[in-house]
Chains A and B, each alone.
Chain A
Amino acid sequence: MAHYFKSVLTVLAARGLQAIIVSVIVGIVSFAMMQALPGDAAFRIAAGRYGYDMMDAAAAEAVRLELGLDAPWFVQLWGWLGQLAQFDLGNSLVYGTPVVDEIATQLGYSLLLAGGAVAASLMIALPVGIATGLNPNSLLDRICMGLSIFLRAVPAFALGVVLVLIFAVQLKLFPVAGFRGIENLILPSFTLGIGLAAVSNRVVRDAVVDAMNSDWQLFARTKGLSARLTLTRHVLRNAALPVVTYVGVQLAYLIEGVVIVETVFAWPGIGHALVHAIFGRDIAMVQGTALTLGLLYVALNLCVDLACRGIDPRERAL
């Protein structure tokens, strides 16, 4: 047990250091990228604020003056790093609201959607993957392979619209878009979850096939364990390792990579916000969002590490 805590502490310390390094690098890189974008930032910010009916050169000049965009880049970067050291992400340049408030709301919705999507994908991938893994190369396995390839190839946008047409417009089971309650979570979760399950059910299947072909599986059977006990005690636990790692990767992808699904379902997530912030040259929002996503990656890696240690006793002994 002492070994276990020691290894957990090592993981925590390593990831803590990683978090600090990630913050600094993400901050500097996102700042540099925003500076490198073509076009005049004052014009872009004014456009984001006032819209094309009200935006003109006078508005752009007022923005330039208000935000000090004329200052040399190193002064601006230093100012932001100074704020960051005091845990202050500043105000959105476009909306004037505190960045931390916006991120808190949007990150919450993004995490909810990501969680829903992973739950939906596991609901599909685990039973399908285990069933096909126990019967490799069967007719079921081949059909699932074909379906997986098809569903992976369909863009999330198209899948989302098809699901809405069937389950919201025709069957009227769920709302089309928005976020009034848990019923709003189902369709976007399955839109994302089906795409994820198309890959993860094959990961589960391969892990189960490997486990079933292993020596220790044969040993367990030989020593007299029933097929069911072998499966639940040994095979699933071993097969879980690659699956947990893969789910971690998927979660990271989900939190930042679901812009199009957020837009289709009018879901106020962080990916959608990041894209808008980049268009509007909202440097404070872009930096705050990128930083949050970077730290989230570190946190996810930490969770995956700890989960794998929980599942695999060999890692604890090391």
Chain B
Amino acid sequence: MIVFIARRLVISFFVLLAATFIIYVLTAFAGDPLEDLRQDNSPQKLTKIAERSERMQLDVPVVLRYLGWLGRIVRGDLGVNRDGQALAPILSDALSATLQLVLAATVLAITVGIVIGIISALRQYSGFDYTVTFAAFICFSLPLFWVAVMLKQYVAIEFNNWLKDPVIPPVVIGALALLGGLIFGALTVGDRRRRLVAFAVGLVVSGALFTILSVTRWFADPGLGTPLILAFGLATAVGFTALAAGLQYRGPLYAALAAAVIGAICSQVLGPVLADPTWLEIGGLLLLTIAVCLGLGYALGGLQRRQAMTAATLTGVFTGAMVFLDRMLQAFAGFSASVRHRPVSTIGARTPNYQGDFWQTGLDSAGHLLLPTLALILISLATYTRFSRASMLEVMNQDYVRTARAKGLPERTVVLKHAFRNGLIPVTTMMAFDLAGVIGGAVVTENVFGWRGMGFMFTKGLQEVDPGPVMAFFIVTGTAVVVFNMIADILYAYLDPRIRLS
């Protein structure tokens, strides 16, 4: 293992070295770094040109310039850009902006994508499966920038207009209800009658839901309230118990239900604490929730202690998230008024000079993150769905899954313990690759939404024919690619003992 890592690191070091040279030379030849100054008509034109030539050492051959850059990098000095600003702070700002933008999108895409992929693999050749496959293909074929401009128009501008008087027109309610019915029907297995019943139930439930939302003008002043939190919490408690332990065991079920009830009580009691918290306090509350839930599972779990702890913790964290969401939604009306009723914004990372409490600034960043996150999710969601579906199908065909079924294990155990865990192995390695790519930022998304992250720094450097920022970008992304590729290999060998590293 250590030999493997050492060898890979040495090889990767030389690969990176060669790549830096090529990129440096290519960037230096990308155009004329003095182009903007040549069109300058001010009297200081010549001084400016001389100054920039001096700073960028334009009189030195490219290869020598590269060697100079390499010498500085070895000493840990990123250098300056062509305007003389130090690159280290610029790089760290860009990196944090990019991580903010991309992390949420990636985590969401991974979770949702894996869940959808697995369901569509388990329901192969159902209506749901065909729909997901088709949707994934469409997502693969969407030009990101085109989607981004569409989102700006329809999700930001028109949605903001609609929020001023949030009444859902009857036609839209009908369409949404139909959609809900179709989803219910496609997910149900069984004969035609059962599917029709599921379709009708979905139709009525979603129709009623959206009518209520529209009549009460929920979108103008949204919120969940304790009863809804309790209801959702109990439902998730049942769901997580069914997944983690199976519903026939009482212990885990009681532990999860207790976690949901305590969470709902907390949403009433914690009012003063949650009035204007900090992220540190939120983190503390999260840890406390996990500790309490683990305790509940331990105390009430009986023989299924481990499963009970899992179910209770998942339920507790989910209910906590609902309480958090509830507080955030309650702050929405005030926030919306403070940004002139345009909560979804299209440009930048935050409203300039915005002042507000924890929830309002949170909503402000959420409003700015919404569109780019949606655009980014579309593509990677499709990738994860397809990938986890294929991997899951592969695993479901293995002999050990058939053996597990043959010896009479319940379907839950077969799917979750035998198939799911093995099916996730290839997905894990893909996640590692993906995370490496993510750090490079989303060049197109950042461009459309005016986000000053890594991609922006990189394209700006390229357009200005300034090797400094481009190289700073590459040092980070190139290293990330190398490191994450190695992590992917090691993870794969660790998760699947049949693979040997050599």
Q: Do A and B bind each other?
A: no
B residues with a Cβ closer than 8 A to A are: none
Q: A interface vs B, CB < 8 Å?
A: none
